[in-house]
């Protein structure tokens, strides 16, 4: 069985989507529709903007969503998923691609999410770091021992790669402790703030009302959601998990493992560089087939 997976923030690149816009009338129409929905020409930044402009959260998230969605839409009959999943922001794309959200409603939610998260980042000094070569349980133990600051697991990407999130002081405190406890390497990340942590509570509060008001219908296939790495098709469960997602960790490694256990043997990454999730999937299970659309 084949699943389609959708990347999140970090998969953007300069000129993203320009080839689609210029080669496909259907893609061009979707990009122009997105410009109208947003009320500004996101395509100008996507196609010609600088790296710095494209990495602003308020731009990155709708841009990554849009490019992935256009690829899924123009795939036509080729897009026949047995299941879908998305990494963080990519979960919104997965839901829209599977018909749980309309293109317009999903794009509006993503734009609201991006602005809310950017505002939350500006409220406190917070950041993230990637912990490499260490068991998840040991990373969790070290984080729990830092009681004077907030430091939590944020992205369970692959076995041996867990991203932590927290206050700037907390992450600075965690890095030497993790290295002393046996981490192969701990890399501070150049991000806007502590995503998937309690620092995103203001963004969650702001977005919750919009998600609760959104029309969500049963998707055409199971959607594996970040908060618990399990398949969902019930609209109300999907809604609740989307709200929880902003402050909960992304359980990507567990998601891929659960999808493989359910019989998914082939994964197709849709959008971005096409290499981010593919690389993770191969590290999670070398027997799985991973390609890009």
Which among 88, 126, 167, 197 is annotated as catalytic? 88
Measuring CA to CA, how many Å separate 235 from each of 168, 217, 225? Answer: 37, 5, 12
Using a 10 angstrom Cβ sphere, with 0-12 exposed, 13-18 middle and 19 or more buried, the burial of residue 101 is buried
**Unique residue bearing structure tokens 């084949």:** 2
Measuring CA to CA, how many Å separate 116 from each of 57, 113, 171, 205, 243? Answer: 10, 5, 23, 9, 13
SS3 165: strand
Instruction: Please check whether residue 222 is in contact with residue 83, taking contact to mean a CB–CB distance below 8 angstroms.
Output: yes
What's the CA dihedral at 31, 108, 229, 156 to 10 degrees?
A: 80
Which among 68, 196, 197, 253 is annotated as catalytic? 196
Instruction: Please check whether residue 292 is in contact with residue 278, taking contact to mean a CB–CB distance below 8 angstroms.
Output: yes
Backbone angles phi, psi at 196, to 5 degrees: 55, 50
Is 228 an active-site residue? Answer: no
Is 88 an active-site residue? Answer: yes
Detail the DSSP E strand segments found in 19-116: 83-86
**Unique residue bearing structure tokens 């992450």:** 171
Q: What are the respective helix, strand and coil percentages of the chain, to the nearest 5? A: 50, 15, 30
Beta-strand relationship, 2-6 and 126-132? unpaired
Catalogue the active-site residues.
88, 196
């Amino acid at each position: 069985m084949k699943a389609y997976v959708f990347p999140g923030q970090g998969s953007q690149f300069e000129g993203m989507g320009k080839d689609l816009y210029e080669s496909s009338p259907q893609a061009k129409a979707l990009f122009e529709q997105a410009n109208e929905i947003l009320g500004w020409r996101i395509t100008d930044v996507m196609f010609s903007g600088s790296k710095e402009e494209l990495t602003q959260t308020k731009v990155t998230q709708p841009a990554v969503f849009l490019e992935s969605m256009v690829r899924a839409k123009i795939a036509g009959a080729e897009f026949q998923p047995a299941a879908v999943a998305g990494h963080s922001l990519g979960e919104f794309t997965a839901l829209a691609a599977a018909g749980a959200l309309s293109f317009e409603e999903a794009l509006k939610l993503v734009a609201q999410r991006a602005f809310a998260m950017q505002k939350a980042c500006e409220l406190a000094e917070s950041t993230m770091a990637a912990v490499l070569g260490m068991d998840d349980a040991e990373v969790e133990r070290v984080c729990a021992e830092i009681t004077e600051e907030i430091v939590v697991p944020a992205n369970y990407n692959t076995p041996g790669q867990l991203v932590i999130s927290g206050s700037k002081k907390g992450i600075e405190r965690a890095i030497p402790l993790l290295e002393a406890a046996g981490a192969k390497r701990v890399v501070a990340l150049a991000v806007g703030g502590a995503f998937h942590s309690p620092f995103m509570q203001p963004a969650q509060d702001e977005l919750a009302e919009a998600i609760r008001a959104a029309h969500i219908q049963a998707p055409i296939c199971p959607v594996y959601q970040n908060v618990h790495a399990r398949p969902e098709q019930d609209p109300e469960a999907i809604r609740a998990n989307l709200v929880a997602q902003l402050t909960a960790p992304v359980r990507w490694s567990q998601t891929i493992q659960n999808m493989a256990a359910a019989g998914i043997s082939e994964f197709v990454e849709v959008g971005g560089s096409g290499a981010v999730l593919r690389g993770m999937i191969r590290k999670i299970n070398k027997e799985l087939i991973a390609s890009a659309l």
